[in-house]
Amino acid sequence: MLAMLLLLGVASEQVAAQAVPAAAESDPVPLRTLEGRWCQIITDLPPSKAVDALPAAVEAVVPQWIAFWQRPADCVDGWKMTVYLMGDKDAFRRRGLMPKQMDNFPHGFQSGRRAWAVSQPSEYFTRHLVLHEVFHGFAAHVFGGVGPTWFGEGTAEMMATHKGEGATTRVPTIPTSREAVPYWGRFKLITQRREEARLPSLEAVLGQREQLYVNVEPYAWSWAATVLMTMYPEYRAELTTASSQMQSTAGEFTRDFRNALQDQWPVVRGRWHLLLEDFDYGYDMRRNRIDWEADQPAWDRQPRQVAIAAARGWQSAGVRVAAGTKLNVTAAGRYSLGTQPRPWVCEPQGVTVRYHRGRPLGVILAALVPQRAADSNILPPLQIETIGRGTSFVVRQDSWLLFRIGDDPSQLADNAGGATVSFRLQP
């Protein structure tokens, strides 16, 4: 997973230049080579359907990477990676195929056209790790470098998070369940930090400088940041442009990327906050996309109504609300959630036979998203208010106001109908 190994220096190039030595007669672990168009895998793992299909998985995803990043088809002409996929590191040490400086890495790393990956407890995670390291090599060849931590590791995670195997492998994807991606663990970590109220600010993620091979947590945040940047067409365009700016230093790269979105940055930050509030298996990127203008006016304190669709996530009320404002909010409507085993017909108070995140399914919710950046690298808990048919509350800080119909963010596609939410000053 480590993109660039400055510590390896010449030693890395010496290892990369070696041919695969024949095993000594006394060596109990033979190595075998799996050849593909863009990847050669040298491994001590025994033959299996999953391992032997890894070159085909790489062959399937490389054209998808090219299309995603809008590069010409010939951009990979002459490029091929060698991946050392290791069940027993000693088998590679004995042959001089593993840099001594990186002896204790737990997962993988890449340098030039060589990568090293440790076999993981699941077929999915092993395949994910191989794709992650090969994408680093792709980026180095096609982009001219891998970029700063958030970009390099985030894009490699995104381009390796897949479904299928062999020739049916497809990227990028949001995993649908824990069972689909055993031992991968990114959502487990995000959920844990959310429950601990320790979610990082976007600025903290873009500025991270950790030695990633000893700490897997930054991969989850880097991946989440690149998911955010591909959810919205205007952000994705800047991310694609940034992939051609590898001549910049890490600091310059991130500064230029932020500057390109400077007018929108408060909204980018707000969308990040709401993404982490909901991000989990099966997250529907399209239906959870928030229409949100950066220049929303301050609320004029006149009564307003907004229509809220059941088939979408958070939806903006179109105004900013000052700290200390006491709002009275009411809701009306009838809508349905899901279709199996039957549609759940709901009204604003929700249905108490099912719950999501401790609230009745279908209940109307409000979110107050702070306009200003957090004072620390940790996001403050969002002010989420349960509206139901109606309630009053005080806005704690200058905020944007958003509403939604409470449902699992992965289960919006088969919802129908909506509600009308009205808000006014509480006398």
Q: What angle do CA 163, 164, 166 make, to 5 degrees?
A: 135
Residue 90 lies in a domain: yes
Note whether 117 and 83 are within 8 A (CB).
Answer: yes
**Based on the structure, what is the number of domains in the chain?**
2
Per-residue three-class SS string for 169-197: CECCCCCCCCCCCCCCCHHHHHHHHHHCC
My answer on whether 278 and 377 are in the same domain is no
Note whether 39 and 55 are within 8 A (CB).
Answer: yes
* 202 membership: H or E segment, kind and range: helix 202-206
Residue 292 lies in a domain: no
CATH number at residue 101: 1.10.390
Note whether 420 and 332 are within 8 A (CB).
Answer: yes
277 has pLDDT over 50: yes
> What pLDDT does residue 354 have?
75
Query: Range of 90's domain?
Result: 1-283
Q: How confident is the model at residue 157 (pLDDT cuts 50, 70, 90)?
A: very high
Residue 317 lies in a domain: yes
Q: How confident is the model at residue 374 (pLDDT cuts 50, 70, 90)?
A: confident
14 has pLDDT over 50: no
| Inter-axis angle of helices 217-231 and 149-160, nearest 10 | 80
Q: How confident is the model at residue 20 (pLDDT cuts 50, 70, 90)?
A: low
The per-residue pLDDT of the chain, averaged, comes to 91
List alpha helices for 210-355, DSSP H. 217-231, 233-242, 250-260, 265-278
> What average pLDDT does range 193-200 have in this prediction?
96
Percentage, residues of the chain above pLDDT 70 = 92
> What pLDDT does residue 321 have?
98
> What average pLDDT does range 141-157 have in this prediction?
95
Count Cα atoms within 13 angstroms, Cβ side, for 106.
8
Give residue-wise pLDDT tens across range 51-80: 999 999 999 999 999 999 999 999 999 999
23 has pLDDT over 70: no
My answer on whether 264 and 233 are in the same domain is yes
My answer on whether 390 and 330 are in the same domain is yes
> What pLDDT does residue 103 have?
67
Q: How confident is the model at residue 12 (pLDDT cuts 50, 70, 90)?
A: very low
> What pLDDT does residue 375 have?
82
My answer on whether 277 and 365 are in the same domain is no
Q: How confident is the model at residue 15 (pLDDT cuts 50, 70, 90)?
A: very low
My answer on whether 264 and 309 are in the same domain is no
Q: Which residue has tokens 């279908």?
A: 362
> What average pLDDT does range 102-122 have in this prediction?
88
16 has pLDDT over 60: no
Residue 288 lies in a domain: no
My answer on whether 155 and 78 are in the same domain is yes
> What pLDDT does residue 317 have?
98
Residue 334 CA to residue 350 CA, distance in Å, equals 10
My answer on whether 221 and 313 are in the same domain is no
My answer on whether 156 and 33 are in the same domain is yes
How does 293-324 read in b/e, with b if 16+ C-beta sit within 10 Å? eeebeebeeeeeebebbbbbbbbbbbbbbeee
My answer on whether 121 and 236 are in the same domain is yes
Residue 291 lies in a domain: no
For residues 29 and 354, the model is more confident at 29
Read off the DSSP letter of residue 113.
T
Residue 370 lies in a domain: yes
CATH number at residue 339: 2.60.120.430
Domain boundary among 227, 252, 283: 283
282 has pLDDT over 70: yes
> What average pLDDT does range 175-197 have in this prediction?
96
Q: How confident is the model at residue 214 (pLDDT cuts 50, 70, 90)?
A: low
> What pLDDT does residue 156 have?
97
> What pLDDT does residue 141 have?
97
| Inter-axis angle of helices 265-278 and 217-231, nearest 10 | 120
Radius of gyration of the chain, Cα coordinates, nearest whole angstrom: 24
Q: How confident is the model at residue 211 (pLDDT cuts 50, 70, 90)?
A: low
Listed in sequence order, the residues at least 6 apart from 119 whose beta carbon sits closer than 8 Å to its beta carbon are: 45, 85, 86, 87, 126
> What average pLDDT does range 261-267 have in this prediction?
95
